[in-house]
Structure 1
Amino acid sequence: MKMTVAELDPAVTQAAVEQMWLDPKAANLRILHQDARRALSALDRSERFDVVFGDAFHDIAVPAHLVTREFHGELAARLSEGGFYAVNVVDLGSDPRFLFALVKTLRLDFPAVEVWKTLDEMDETGRVTFIVLASARPTRETRIASLRGLARAW
């Protein structure tokens, strides 16, 4: 498996090396220290991805240029057959307006858009973590549980 990581801040990569045992010289790993949208645009157009995971935040907000129709269209065109885009979203559990807007925008370029949320309650701020999956077809799963790390179910 080959991985391409777009990480804007080299200090984040360094923290992963020092505290999470990341080997930045691994043969299957390519790290691009630039914005995800710029990195995707700079890569060879024939390159396809099985999974693209978006986990970019400024405080709790996803940067605006990563939730546009233009970016989603480029992502959709770069996915392999059966590939999907997963994006981490934090929003208010009682009124997730950003989440709804993101889903509406994704549906313009992806036939299947699913929202997964943790089965836990909201945190003390009322926020909930959602994973939004966008692809050519829906998943077959109805529940996902973590096998390692924090005991979570989606």
Structure 2
Amino acid sequence: MNKLILSVIAISLSNWALSQIIPPPTYPIYFQYDESGNQVFRGDGMLSRSAVADSSQNTETVVQTSPENSSFAMEEKDFWNNIRIYPVPVKDYLTIEWNDSVKDLISEVGLYEQNTVHWVFQSKKIPTLDKTIKINMTKQYMGVYILTFTLKDGRRFSKNITKY
């Protein structure tokens, strides 16, 4: 009888202890997506000094900048206006050029195949590139490639490139 009572108590205590509801986080979770709809960030918005945009704005996060870091305040549209990519669609060589206004912002440049996520080109040594990259695409298959620029403040801008 004691064994039966102890087993009933043990089962009821284990069910009670293991079935506790863990409260969801009280802070909101934010997502960021790249140009092709892939999720590139999931977090609470506090990483890398970013703050949550208020609900009246359409943007998901806003990067805080100070007057001394005004060069980091460049938006994606302005960034792409300072980048020249040609020819698109590419057949043999892809040329990427940028001007002095974004030279100090770029940390890394990469090009990868969309289907296999295989890096065709990746460089972290931007000062040695002299604001121009020429990538040989002759041995690459036809398809969509993604060109990514990683900025020094952690943001990532990407654009689709078609190879025929």
Q: TM-score, normalised by structure 2?
A: 0.24
Give the number of the structure whose residues are more often strand, by fraction.
Answer: 2
TM-score normalized by structure 1?
Answer: 0.25
For the pair shown, which has the larger CA radius of gyration, 1 or 2?
A: 2
